């Protein structure tokens, strides 16, 4: 599964669209990233750009954008309402999928080193990347803005992490760092009262409200011995919020920024708004996501609400998302399109999955045509997906079986495991065809002189190894599914035991079919150590699959 990082650089130009376009062109020309949003502001004279991609590609795109901004923007001539200190003022990296904050920090250091060394720009690491506790807060770096940077850089205690301790007069100073994903999220109320919406916001946000004597609105403010107002904290940490009235919709909302979704997920913020609103005689009617979100955020929400119903969470992503959308009313004001709101889905739209996009008849017809792909490898992966889907079905039926209510979590866990394996095998359906195409592309390379012949042969060997690794992945996933299928045959809903049996037959077919692909592809490889190791692994998996299939079918037969 791909690692994904979001990058949201802020450039100190919001009025000249020609300059902005040149910067974003640098981002778009880097393979492996997708430009999601460009938001210029005339008053701030600042543009916020959002793009996402795999880590190395994001580092390269960010570097090229910072380089171009340094060429085009002269901070000596810049003015705007927003605080700023450089042509690229800040460049945050946000971990989105399959990557930790610690890994993301390392990529910010890689970028910072290049910016300082190759561009001669003073670069500070901030937030999670900070090497100095002061720099965790961006405001401490940017204090005094561009105009004070020359004198600040001369101070002994204001040293950049990378680059010179002398101001680059045109490019200024840049802050680079890793931070958590920020979600802008509004909750809709059945009122037009901003004051009442604020009351809910104060109940929920971390800052809470000022403590008062007697009446919470008009009472005298309570202060400490230093004369500072005492605050009553709200229910949710890492949440900022305020109430407002939206004339366009004719309702009041609680408008929130969720600054750390690991601390307060957005479904918990929603639940706390519901609690506060109910206590105040109000009702939450729905909510609104502003911008984008990572897939795991809405999946976590859907699973949370399914668990509240004692329902299995081992269902498809589409169904989990549907539960989240309907429960939280994310489609109350405008339609909620997952393909436009979820970052991973936006990226997936760029990826070609010709086989998975077909209907069942189309897939069968394409397989039966004179084209050599899709072939046995893709079919093996798809049969494996069908097999584990049957096992997952048994798990879900068992979780909802009358009289088994106390066991729903047990079977839900098996269903989740099955869904993950199914999704992996489905991805491998197209990947096997891609592997075949890589071999064909390698054979089409020129073979005129000795150098071309050598390069062609190396490409063929590399592509062939890839074509071995894909069916090995199919074998591994299908074999793993057999363990879950066996458990469903043993302990699952007895009325569905034959479904588990058919699932086992499909899984064994997937393992054996992929095994045949490994053997035919591995024959042309010259790396004998590689061949021996992979064949040994494949042989062992095949034997284990055959033994497991026999065990499962014996269980099935014993229950008929």
CB 206 within 8 A of CB 240: yes
Cα–Cα distance, 228 to 213 (Å, whole number): 15
Closest CA to 474 of 414, 424, 533: 424
Neighbours of 107 (CB within 10 A): 23
Does residue 255 sit in helix, strand or coil?
strand
CB 40 within 8 A of CB 15: yes
Q: Which residue has the tokens 């009702």?
A: 283
Does residue 140 sit in helix, strand or coil?
helix
Q: What is the DSSP code (8-state) at residue 214?
A: S
Q: How far is CA 338 from the centre of its chain?
A: 13
How far is CA 5 from each of CA 38, 50, 129, rounded to the nearest angstrom?
A: 17, 11, 15
CB 449 within 8 A of CB 515: no
Both tokens of 187, joined, read: 């909750």
Cα–Cα distance, 274 to 204 (Å, whole number): 10
Backbone angles phi, psi at 119, to 5 degrees: -110, -10
CB 199 within 8 A of CB 243: yes
Task: List all residues 6 or more positions away from 117 whose beta carbon is below 8 Å from its beta carbon.
Answer: 162, 163
Radius of gyration of the chain (CA): 29
How far is CA 176 from each of CA 12, 61, 121, 300, 475, rounded to the nearest angstrom?
A: 15, 14, 12, 29, 43
**Active centre residues (catalytic):** 82, 432
CA atoms within 13 A on the CB side of 253: 21
Q: Which residue has the tokens 């807060």?
A: 137
Closest CA to 266 of 309, 299, 244, 243: 299
**Residues 257/258/259/265 CA torsion (nearest 10 deg):** 180
Q: Is 18 exposed, middle or buried (0-12, 13-18, 19+ CB in 10 A)?
A: exposed
Cα–Cα distance, 393 to 419 (Å, whole number): 10
Does residue 233 sit in helix, strand or coil?
coil
Closest CA to 490 of 386, 400, 401, 394: 394
């Amino acid at each position: 599964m791909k690692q994904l990082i979001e990058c949201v650089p802020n450039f100190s130009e919001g009025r000249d669209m020609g300059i902005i376009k040149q910067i974003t062109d640098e981002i778009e020309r880097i393979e492996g990233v997708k430009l999601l949003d460009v938001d210029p502001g005339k008053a701030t004279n600042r543009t916020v750009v959002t793009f996402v991609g795999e880590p190395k590609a994001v580092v390269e795109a960010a570097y090229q954008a910072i380089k171009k901004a340094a060429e085009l923007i002269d901070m000596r001539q810049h003015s705007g309402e927003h605080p700023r200190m450089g042509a690229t003022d800040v460049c945050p990296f946000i971990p989105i999928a399959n990557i930790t904050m610690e890994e993301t920090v390392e990529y910010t250091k890689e970028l910072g080193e290049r910016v300082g060394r190759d561009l001669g720009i003073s670069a500070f690491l901030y937030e999670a990347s900070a090497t100095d506790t002061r720099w965790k807060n961006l405001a401490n770096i940017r204090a005094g803005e561009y105009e004070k940077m020359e004198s600040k850089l001369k101070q002994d205690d204001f040293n950049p992490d990378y680059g010179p301790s002398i101001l680059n007069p045109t490019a200024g100073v840049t802050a680079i760092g890793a931070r958590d994903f920020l979600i802008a999220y509004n909750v809709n109320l059945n009122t037009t009262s901003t004051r009442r919406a604020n009351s809910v916001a104060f109940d929920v946000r971390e800052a809470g409200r000022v403590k008062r004597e007697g009446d919470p609105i008009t009472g005298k403010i309570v202060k400490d011995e230093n004369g500072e107002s005492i605050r009553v904290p709200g229910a949710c940490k890492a949440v900022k919020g305020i109430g407002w009235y939206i004339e366009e919709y004719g309702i009041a909302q609680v408008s929130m920024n969720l600054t750390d979704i690991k601390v307060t997920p957005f479904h918990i913020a929603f639940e706390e708004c519901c609690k506060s609103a109910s206590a105040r005689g109000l009702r939450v009617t729905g909510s609104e996501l502003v911008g984008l979100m990572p897939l795991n955020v809405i999946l976590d929400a859907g699973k949370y609400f399914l668990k509240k119903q004692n329902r299995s969470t081992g269902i498809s992503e589409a169904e989990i998302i549907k539960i989240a959308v309907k429960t939280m009313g994310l489609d109350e004001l405008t339609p909620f399109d997952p393909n436009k709101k979820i970052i991973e889905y936006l990226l997936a739209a760029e990826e070609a999955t010709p086989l998975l996009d077909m209907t069942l008849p189309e897939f069968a017809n394409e397989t039966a045509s004179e084209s050599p792909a899709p072939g046995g490898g893709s079919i093996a992966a798809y049969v494996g997906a069908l097999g584990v889907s049957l096992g997952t079905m048994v798990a879900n039926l068992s979780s909802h079986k009358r009289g088994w209510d106390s066991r729903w979590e047990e079977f839900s866990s098996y269903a989740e495991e099955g869904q993950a394996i199914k999704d992996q095998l489905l991805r491998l359906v197209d990947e096997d065809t891609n592997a075949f195409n890589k071999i064909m592309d390698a054979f089409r390379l020129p073979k005129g002189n000795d150098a071309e012949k050598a390069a062609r042969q190396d490409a063929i060997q590399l592509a062939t190894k890839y074509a071995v690794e894909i069916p090995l992945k199919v074998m591994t996933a299908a074999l793993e599914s057999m363990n879950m299928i066996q458990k469903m045959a043993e302990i699952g809903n007895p009325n569905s035991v034959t479904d588990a049996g058919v699932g086992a037959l499909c899984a064994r077919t997937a393992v054996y079919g992929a095994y045949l692909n490994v053997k035919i592809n591995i024959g042309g490889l010259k790396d004998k150590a590689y061949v021996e190791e992979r064949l040994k692994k494949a042989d062992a998996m095949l034997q284990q699959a055959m033994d497991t299939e026999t065990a499962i079918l014996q269980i099935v037969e014993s229950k008929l």
